[in-house]
Structure 1
Amino acid sequence: MKTSARNQFRGKVEQVLIGAVNAEIYLSSKGGATIVASITKESVATLGIEVGVEAIALVKAPQIIVVTDFGGYKVSARNQLAGTVVAVKPGAVNSEVDIELGGGEVVAATVTNDSVETLGLTVGQPATAIFKAGAVILAVQS
């Protein structure tokens, strides 16, 4: 699939929880990460989402928040993927920060250069990529 979304997690639907309006979809990626998506019930039906279906979870890099120290806080974002910074690519205003997860998948985040400096982001540093379930777009083979 060709798309502008930097983060593409391929995997299998492991769980579907249907609510009154929306559904939570749990996708187990090939690298071992679990991605939670919140989509409408209508989208579940239209896409034919059910347990066992192969899907791709798409997340744009600007939707990723990079955390290096939770400071004792918990956050409401369902997707919290811990890993190690493997690249910091500075630009004029923003930088791309790549975080490699335990299974070898890489999450790309776009953050301000000020954030890179404030967080002291360097290669080899532990970091967690965080994003809301609502930031995930699911795609299935048609």
Structure 2
Amino acid sequence: MGLSIRNQLAGTVTAVTAGEAMAAVKVRLDGGQDITAAITTDAVEALGIAAGSSVKALVKATDVALATGPAEGLSIRNQIAGTVVGVATGGAMASVKIDVDGGGLTAAVTKDAVEELGLAAGSSVVALIKSTEISLATA
């Protein structure tokens, strides 16, 4: 099955905290960074997700925000450090490709944001992703 979701990061589940309807799934990406995905407990059960499971974290480019450094005072759980490897701008929007340990991410942000943050190849960035915007896939 092909997907339009560009961001697909491989990792291993390190913990699952299940609630009545939702579960917090902690994943160690192949590059060593930790993320949290909030998915339904039904999905955890249906996919057989448990500590040690190999998964891919899937994130739409439009769900990735960027900062020029670590952010504090946010409810966003996932902050993944990386380096910009390319920026393609259009009239209103831009696609920013980021190299992170263990793979790459693409963020779709406004052209204004790229200009205001001074993003260009070689810039250090932190990708910000809400845990509710991460889906998990199993093999």
Task: State the TM-score, normalized to the length of structure 2.
Answer: 0.92
For residue 135 of structure 1, report the CA deviation from its aligned partner: 0.1
Q: What fraction of aligned residue pairs are identical, expressed as a percent?
A: 40
Amino acid at match of 2:131: A
Matches within 5 A, 1:1-142: 2-69=2-69, 73-101=72-100, 103-141=101-139
Aligned length: 139
Measured after TM superposition, the shift of residue 21 of structure 1 is 2.0
- Distance apart, 1:108 and its partner CA: 0.7
> Alignment partner of 1:62: what SS?
helix
Q: Is the 8 A contact 2:69 2:124 kept in 1?
A: no
Q: Measure how far apart 1:118 and its partner are.
A: 1.3
Unaligned runs of 5+ in 2: none
Query: Which amino acid in 2 is paired with 1:120?
Result: G
Aligned-partner Cα distance in 2 for 1:43–1:61: 22
4+ residue segments displaced more than 4 Å: none
What is the deviation of 1:99?
Answer: 1.8
Q: CA RMSD in A?
A: 1.6
The one-letter code matched in structure 2 to 1:49 is I
SS at match of 1:51: coil
User: Kindly tell me: are residues 49 and 106 of structure 1, through their superposed partners in 2, closer, same or farther at Cα, counting changes over 3 Å?
Assistant: same
Alpha-carbon distance between aligned partners in 2 of 1:99 and 1:46, rounded to the nearest angstrom: 32
